[in-house]
Chains A and B, each alone.
Chain A
Amino acid sequence: MMRRDISSREEMASYLAAEFPNAARRDASISPIRGGRLAAEAALEAIEPSRYGFDRNYLDGHVTRLSPYIRHGILTLKQAKEVAFTKVSDRFHAAKFVTELAWRDYWQRLYAVLGRKVWEDREESKTGIPPHTYAPAMPEDVSAARTGLVCIDSFVTELKSTGYLHNHSRMWFAAYLVHFRRVRWQAGAKFFLSHLLDGDPASNNLSWQWVASTFAHKPYFFNRENLEKYTKGKYCRNCPVRGRCDFEGSYEQLEAKLFR
């Protein structure tokens, strides 16, 4: 049996590190995001679904950060939907939020059908790049947050210290790894599952496949202008390679560079 008489988060961190030495060896930090129903209910009470509908793609938009609670059934999707409806004058104003909740339901239903096959390509990739050219492992500079790209390194640092990333950051990071670095999506998916508090083989792997185009009609990628817009320049402003980074150029130029 494990102890329940823990009086502080510091004590919890050292107790758990001793109980789970292998997990602690991978990364012994504890997220500032708290577990538990009380924390979950506070986060649920704070949601603003109508503002969410307008600005959810911006890093400083009104995303809810409910995912670790929903992932572990501390809150249910239905409960989140019902609370969202109490926060708006017209249910239509919560439509975007409810659609995103439905994405989770969709991935879970697929998981029930696919099981461990979520680790395999659902379809052939649409990138035109031969599958064997994708590297099987996570590059060391990426996992160590030393690529020199301020955005990417910041995503890795945030993921490792908090266990959370905004949806758009997850998309950019996944596109960077798979398309700009030509790494197999499975390596990125494993890295995310290891660190995300909401880590879920269905939502995670199938989203990686959506970016990679093994579960979509075309690959997802982005250019610097897009990243700069939705981050309001917070990374580009201080980036030493600004103006000459991998993401510079129009979508047409990048498409020609990345795919065949």
Chain B
Amino acid sequence: MSELIWLHPDCLTANNPAFAKYPQVPSLFVFDEEEIAEEEWTLKRIAFLYETLLELPAEIDRGKVVEKLLARRPSKIVTVSSVNPRFAQYVRALERAVKVEVLAAEPFVDCPANVDLKRFSRYWKRVEPMLF
């Protein structure tokens, strides 16, 4: 039993904070067959991700994400946050079986989460001065 880094399609940078914090820990990417079916991905996107993964020190698998991760019997799963609703759903399912550490992705701008999102113009008024 050891830790496992879970890579998902929103965090494929080589500067992944999970690699930085756990340099010796193996990582796994699972092509999510439910997401691929639901969004009707064609081979183009799969190939793009696969090519990206070949440059990373990751094992690659396909199938049901939660099952594949738990099948490795990790003591803990480390990953990077995502706003994809599937991500929260999978983290909840994993947490029933194992400890999960979610590291923050690098923010574009450090602005409060409760910024007004009614229209882009409102958001922009708030963040523009922080960006330049």
Contact = CB atoms under 8 A, between A and B. Distances in A.
Contacts of A150: none
A36 B10 contact: no
Contacts of B47: 12-13, 16, 30-31, 35
A35 B45 CA distance: 9
B45 A106 contact: no
Nearest to B14: A37
B84 to A, nearest CB: 7
B62 interface: yes
Interface in B34-53: 36-37, 39-53
B10 A73 contact: yes
Contact of B49 (A35, A98, A201): A35
B108 A78 contact: yes
Counting chain A CB atoms within 10 Å of each CB, which of B31, B127, B131 scores highest?
B131
Interface string B1-42: 000000001111110100000000000000100001101111
The 5 closest A-B pairs by CB, nearest first: A35-B51, A27-B42, A35-B52, A115-B85, A77-B108
11 contacts: A16-B50, A17-B43, A34-B51, A74-B13, A76-B108, A78-B109, A98-B131, A190-B39, A190-B40, A194-B42, A201-B39
Interface of A: 1-2, 4, 6, 12-13, 16-17, 19-20, 22-24, 26-31, 33-38, 68, 72-79, 81, 91-92, 95, 98-99, 101-106, 108-113, 115-116, 160, 162-163, 190, 193-197, 199, 201-202
Interface of B: 9-14, 16, 31, 36-37, 39-56, 59-62, 80, 83-85, 105-109, 113, 115, 117, 120, 123-124, 127-128, 131-132
